[in-house]
Amino acid sequence: MPRWGSFDFDELERMAKAFKKALDERVIDRFIQDFLLEMAYRAERKIKKRTPVDSGELRRNWRVGRVERRGDSYVVEIFNNTEYASFVENGHRNRDKTDWVEGRFMMNISMKQLEKELPVYLERRQAELLKQIMNGRRPRR
């Protein structure tokens, strides 16, 4: 019969307690909400940079909503209530309806760019959170 030796579970138990405490204090929920809000504001900045400027109204009217939990998912909206925002984003017929004006896709392009960058941001923030949980400190807000 093989001999496995001894194993000290103290560190593993300490880690389990730290995670249980973090879950009980809703640290993970706050982390997800804060992270999504940060990403939404990053996206808003990218979108604003790509938004064409005539009067400046379209660029000024980009907004980030609140993070909401819907079932097992979290949702945050980035929106623009300017009447013509969707036409600039997706394209439209010109006034005399003869030619097509190509869309600028400022939101679409910005969101795709952020999706590519997201794993780097998430990995960095997760490492910070894990370090704070393991050191018994309250995660930053």
Residue-wise pLDDT for 72-100, tens only, equals 999 999 999 999 999 999 999 998 989 99
Phi, psi of 101 (to 5 degrees): -95, 115
Percent pLDDT > 70 in the chain is 91
Task: For residue range 116-128, list pLDDT tens digits in order.
Answer: 999 999 999 999 9
Residues 30 and 139: beta-carbon distance below 8 Å: yes
Cβ atoms of 36 and 118 closer than 8 Å:
no
Determine if the pTM surpasses 0.85: no
What is residue 1's predicted lDDT score, i.e. its pLDDT? 54
Instruction: Please identify which residue in the block is written with the tokens 């050191």.
Output: 135
Structure tokens at 31: 């982390």
